Amino acid sequence: MLDLLSKMRSEELATTLIAIVAVSAVVVGVLIRLIVYSVRRYRERQLATTLILEMLDRGMTADDIVRVLSAAGLEDRGEEVMSLRERLRQRLGRSTSTPAKATPES
């Protein structure tokens, strides 16, 4: 490798180094963007999960929950809305349009 670099003229060496730096910068930029996007999606899902659990504790129906998530901008795919309804139906063991029983507060 050093033999190859020592045989190059200074213009060729400079061009090669600039190309290597440019390609490396693009790769690092893409990786950083992917990491930031992944962290953001994770935080959004964590927020949505917390919000859903709080709304379930308050006895809200699945339709109400879907409406709140849509208004908050946390729901971005129709398939997730349908799977949310199905998961709520299975978890609660009842129709998702029936509100939960209110628990007496002390």
Residues 88-103 have pLDDT tens digits of 777 766 554 455 454 4
Of the candidates 73, 16, 81, the residue with the CA atom closest to the CA atom of residue 47 = 73
User: How far apart are the C-alpha atoms of 98 and 60, rounded to whole Å?
Assistant: 9
The DSSP symbol for 58 reads T
Orientation angle between helical segments 10-57 and 78-92, nearest 10 degrees? 40
Q: Taking the complete model, does pTM exceed 0.75, yes or no?
A: no
| Section 24-40 average pLDDT | 96
Share of the chain above pLDDT 90, in %: 22
